[in-house]
């Protein structure tokens, strides 16, 4: 089965991390048919060199140059349009995929032709992949995913492989600077998409103290509440589901950073 890899990169990304992310997709046990890289605005020479150097190893790299930074969701929409193949493997510019990640996901699609999204749990690491600091498990079956999604994201965004036509059918990612994936999952599930997550941990997610700070921002909190309110309005979840999410998000925003870390480690990352 042929598939595309979709990555976005912008000027403030770390070149070393980007190199590791890109190589982890080039070195998959089942090679991608193409890698589509969306430059979200002008990028620096170091990031450009990473692309140029890896093109010598993997020639089918497609570059999309956006004139200005538009944010992850809109940049991904442009990339999705350019992907040649219906199966698209998402990848972030600072994470690392296991070498058999795409092989395992393709196996799921082969076994069940009706699947629209396949993701996996992640191992969270600091500095290098041997320093694991956490895990994020996700529900495995379609039924479990639908139930879980009423309050929490059922997929780890950089792990997913999805069908291009299924994403386009719901209008792609929304114009949000944060939580674009939450909005997409809700729209796709509301549209009766079929889903699964692999049991194996197929991606190493880069995690540091800045990750906590980003999630604690008012922008992040406000947008997530808005997206979950929209989910309630379309009948995707109950008002109690929405209320639970809102209280949790406001609590995370208000609580001290040290207590937020405790909550994540003891309850949200089991």
Same domain, 37 and 155: yes
pLDDT at 220: 85
- Chain position carrying tokens 């076994």: 111
User: What total of structural domains would you count in the chain?
Assistant: 2
Same domain, 83 and 141: yes
- Picking from 153, 185, 207, the residue at the C-terminal end of a domain is 207
Same domain, 151 and 86: yes
3 state DSSP class of 78: helix
pLDDT at 269: 57
- Chain position carrying tokens 């109950």: 238
- Whether the Cβ atoms of residue 120 and residue 200 lie closer than 8 Å to each other: yes
Same domain, 203 and 217: no
User: What are the helix (H) ranges across the chain?
Assistant: 15-26, 45-55, 72-82, 101-111, 142-148, 164-169, 180-190, 209-216, 218-233, 239-254, 257-263
CATH number at residue 63: 3.90.550.10
Q: Which domain holds residue 15?
A: 4-207
Same domain, 216 and 136: no
Q: Residue 122 belongs to what H/E stretch?
A: strand 122-125
pLDDT at 265: 61
- Picking from 172, 207, 242, the residue at the C-terminal end of a domain is 207
- Picking from 207, 224, 240, the residue at the C-terminal end of a domain is 207
Same domain, 90 and 197: yes
Same domain, 198 and 226: no
Same domain, 30 and 126: yes
- pLDDT tens digits, 197-220: 999 999 999 987 666 666 667 888
Same domain, 65 and 109: yes
- pLDDT tens digits, 91-135: 999 999 999 999 999 999 999 999 999 999 999 999 899 999 999
pLDDT at 216: 65
Same domain, 83 and 43: yes
Chain centroid offset of residue 142 CA: 18
Same domain, 199 and 241: no
Query: Could you tell me the mean pLDDT of each successive run of 10 residues in the chain, 270 residues long?
Result: 97 97 98 98 97 96 97 97 98 97 98 98 94 94 98 97 98 92 97 98 88 71 94 96 92 73 59
Same domain, 54 and 136: yes
pLDDT at 209: 65
């Amino acid at each position: 089965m042929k598939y595309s890899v979709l990555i976005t990169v912008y000027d403030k990304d770390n070149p070393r991390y980007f190199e590791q992310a890109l190589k982890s997709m080039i070195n998959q046990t089942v090679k991608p048919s193409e890698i589509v890289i969306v430059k979200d605005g002008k990028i620096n020479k170091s990031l450009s060199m990473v692309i140029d150097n890896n093109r010598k190893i993997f020639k089918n790299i497609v570059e999309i140059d956006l004139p200005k930074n538009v944010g992850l969701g809109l940049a991904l929409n442009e990339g999705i349009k350019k992907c040649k193949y219906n199966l698209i493997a998402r990848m972030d510019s600072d994470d690392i995929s296991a070498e058999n990640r795409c092989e395992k996901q393709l196996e799921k699609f082969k076994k069940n032709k009706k699947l629209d999204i396949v993701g996996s749990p992640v191992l969270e690491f600091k500095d290098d992949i041997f320093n694991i600091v956490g895990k994020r498990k996700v529900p495995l079956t379609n039924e479990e995913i639908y139930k879980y999604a009423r309050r929490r994201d059922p997929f780890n965004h950089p792990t997913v492989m999805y069908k291009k036509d299924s994403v386009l059918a719901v209008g792609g990612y929304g114009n949000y600077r944060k939580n674009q994936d939450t909005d997409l999952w809700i729209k796709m599930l509301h549209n009766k998409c079929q889903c699964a997550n692999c049991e194996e941990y197929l991606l190493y997610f880069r995690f540091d103290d800045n990750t906590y700070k980003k999630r604690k921002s008012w922008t992040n909190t406000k947008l997530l509440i808005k997206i979950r309110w929209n989910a309630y309005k379309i009948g995707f979840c109950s008002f109690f589901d929405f209320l639970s999410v809102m209280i949790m998000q406001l609590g995370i925003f208000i609580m001290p950073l040290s207590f937020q870390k405790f909550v994540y480690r003891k309850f949200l990352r089991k």
